[in-house]
Structure 1
Amino acid sequence: MRTLCASTLIGEFFVIGFAGLVAMKGDLSGTTVWTVCGIAMLLSVLLCGMLGRPGAIQIGWALQIALVLSGFVVPTMFFLGAVFAGLWWASIHYGRKIDEAKARWAAQEEQASAGPDAA
């Protein structure tokens, strides 16, 4: 799960940066745009390292909601935020399934390597 979620977060890092460039064309100051974008970009990178800790998934959902809401500043972000929210859900959902399959496979390998006397 961590690999899929981290990949999604790194993709978001770049999208947030590009959205910041687009937002600069609006009537917001550059300082405001890059403060908000910088915090969101930093959060997306820090979350990559925090994915194994409690609460990281919930913080990731908050970031997804913030990305969708950023559509009020850059309208394209309504779509891109929804796409990344879907990717975030898929990363969590399918990542857990992959982790469960890996654990089952490792248990089977351990039993097979123990030999017939272990059973």
Structure 2
Amino acid sequence: MRGMCSAMLTFEAILLGLSVPVMISVEDVPASVAAPLGLGLAVLCLLTAGMLRKPWAYGIGHGIQAASIALGLLVPVMFFIGGMFAVLWASAFLLGRRIEADKARWAAQGEGPADA
């Protein structure tokens, strides 16, 4: 689960970093607003990706998804792009939990995925 969620946050950090010039040049958002929002969220994504060993870091990841969607108030296309990343994040989170549960079940039964 950690690997998939970390990958989603890393890709999202790239997207959020690239959203800054779009906010400034296309949507005429002042640089004093766009830079802290876009780059701040990008840095938060990277920091959170590194902290996913702790269970509480996933809550921060959920919050990042909400903040990415909320950027749509400044750049309307971010409603779609943020929503897309939120779906990817949720998929990685839920699929990762399912995989970990299957691994625990296999370990408890004394069998591996190749034996099943």
**TM class by smaller structure:** 0.7 to 0.9
Deviates more, 1:25-34 or 1:42-51: 25-34
Deviates more, 1:80-89 or 1:49-58: 49-58
Mapped partners of 2:17, 2:39: distance in 1: 8
Richer in helix (by share): 1
Larger Rg over CA atoms: 1
Kept in 1: contact 2:52–2:58 (CA 8 A) = yes
Match of 2:17 in 1: 17
The answer on 1:7 being equivalent to 2:7 is: yes
Match of 2:80 in 1: 79
> When the two structures are aligned, how many residues end up with a matched partner?
110
Kept in 1: contact 2:29–2:74 (CA 8 A) = no
Mapped partners of 2:46, 2:4: distance in 1: 14
1:33 Cα offset (Å): 1.2
5+ residue gaps, structure 1, are 111-119
1:89 Cα offset (Å): 0.8
Q: What SS does the corresponding residue of 2:48 show, helix, strand or coil?
A: helix
Mapped partners of 1:27, 1:14: distance in 2: 21
Q: Sequence identity of aligned pairs in percent?
A: 36
Mapped partners of 2:6, 2:100: distance in 1: 15
Mapped partners of 2:9, 2:65: distance in 1: 10
Normalised by the size of structure 1, how large is the TM-score? 0.83
**CA-based RMSD:** 1.7
| Matching of residues 1-119 of structure 1 within 5 Å | 1-25=1-25, 26-107=27-108, 108=110
